[in-house]
Amino acid sequence: MDTTAARRSILARIRAAQGRAVTSPTPTQHEREAVADYLARHPQGPRPPLEGDLVVRFVEQAKKMATTVDEVAQLSDVPAAAARYLASLSLPVQAVAWQTLESFDWRAAGLSVEFRKPVDSDLVGLTGCFCATAETGTLVLLSGPQTWASGALLPETHVAVVPASRIVAGHEDAFALMRAERGELPRAVNFVSGPSRTGDIEQTIVLGAHGPYRVHVIVVHGA
């Protein structure tokens, strides 16, 4: 049985279990209304309790995912923190960045930053984030005209600026924040939990398989 036929068979059995005619797969008006009501309410399922300071929890979980973390007091400290990190690993001081980071004084920190989408030769990418989740130490990145998804995916090193005020408890809270502030999801929503990795070859974890080798987060407490 090919994939298409198998899918039709599975869906037919589901419709039969629901008491719907196999030959009439179109949802009824009542079913459409029930789905619309469910989506409008956005009910949440069971969640484990998340106690303590969200920033502390985010830092702890991010480190478990092989993300390196620095913490600074204010936004003006970010360029120097990024420069320190790159210097500590002898990484290039040339980078590409989201346009939302143009107001930072990168030049004073000794960095040469271009605000454009990355190409294959770009080794360092600087981004902000929409928010971050404390439960898993994850960055939540939304694509847009000034916040292109490739900025966090193509360069070998990804440096992200995370305002402490944008750290939420879990993914459910991140999606709630998207609905409250954006209304609709953008073309791409990326959840980044540390460097790209794979364990396909003999179950050995390899970093940088499908994206950055390194993810470094700068948490800004005064933002």
Of 31 and 135, the structure prediction assigns the larger pLDDT to 135
Place of tokens 């944008």: 166
**Model confidence, pTM:** 0.82
Q: In the prediction, which pLDDT does 1 show?
A: 54
Rounded-to-integer distance, Cα 26 and Cα 20, Å: 9
* Residue from 56, 95, 58 nearest 194 by CA: 58
Percent of the chain with pLDDT over 90: 65
pLDDT digits (tens, 9 = 90+) for 174-223: 999 999 999 888 999 999 999 976 666 666 666 556 668 899 999 999 98
Q: Tell me the backbone φ, ψ of residue 78, rounded to 5 degrees.
A: -65, -50
For 43, left (φ over 0), alpha (ψ -120 to 50), or beta?
Answer: beta
Cα 123 to Cα 125: distance, rounded to the nearest angstrom: 7
What average pLDDT is seen over the chain? Answer: 90
Lowest pLDDT segment from 12-26, 45-59, 83-97, 140-154: 12-26
Tokens, residue 198: 């794979």
| Architecture label for domain 54-220 | 3-Layer(aba) Sandwich (3.40)
Q: pLDDT digit string (tens) for 6-16? A: 888 887 788 77
